[in-house]
Amino acid sequence: SKALPVFLFGLVLTGFVDKGEGNACSSTFFSALVQLIPCRAAVASFSPIPPSETCCNAIKALGQPCLCVIVNGPPISGVDRNMALQLPEKCTANFEPC
């Protein structure tokens, strides 16, 4: 679909932003976003669906510090930040709030 190239282009434009958080994220902003591509459908405001098992595995592997870097970073086209913040709970990941 045409949405994926636009999404990836947006990732490239915002990919090198680094924010300091309490715990360091070992991934770059860009690589963390790429790792969460399986969650794209679960955070799209126009068509929200429950996160898939693949998405939940990606969230758990990424970890809370990197998720916080993403949701507190620059806007990402097509991503609802509130829905992104709900992913750890929906995936039963025991993350602290961002």
- Per residue in 10-57, pLDDT tens? 443 343 333 343 568 888 888 888 999 999 999 988 766 899 999 999
DSSP code, position 52: P
Task: Tell me the average pLDDT of the chain.
Answer: 78
3-state secondary structure of 42: helix
| Cβ contact 88:59 at 8 Å | yes
CATH number at residue 66: 1.10.110.10
Residue 31's CB is within 10 A of a number of other CB atoms, namely 15
Q: Is residue 63 part of a domain?
A: yes
Q: How many CA atoms lie within 13 A of 40 on its CB side?
A: 16
Q: Is residue 10 part of a domain?
A: no
Q: Is residue 4 part of a domain?
A: no
Residue 44's CB is within 10 A of a number of other CB atoms, namely 16
Q: Is residue 49 part of a domain?
A: yes
| Residues spanned by the domain of 93 | 25-97
Angstrom distance (rounded) from CA 45 to CA 82: 9
What is the pTM (predicted TM-score) of this model?
0.71
Residue 78's CB is within 10 A of a number of other CB atoms, namely 15
Q: Is residue 52 part of a domain?
A: yes
The number of distinct structural domains making up the chain is 1
Angstrom distance (rounded) from CA 8 to CA 3: 9
Q: Is residue 90 part of a domain?
A: yes
- pLDDT reading at 61 higher than 50: yes
Q: Is residue 18 part of a domain?
A: no
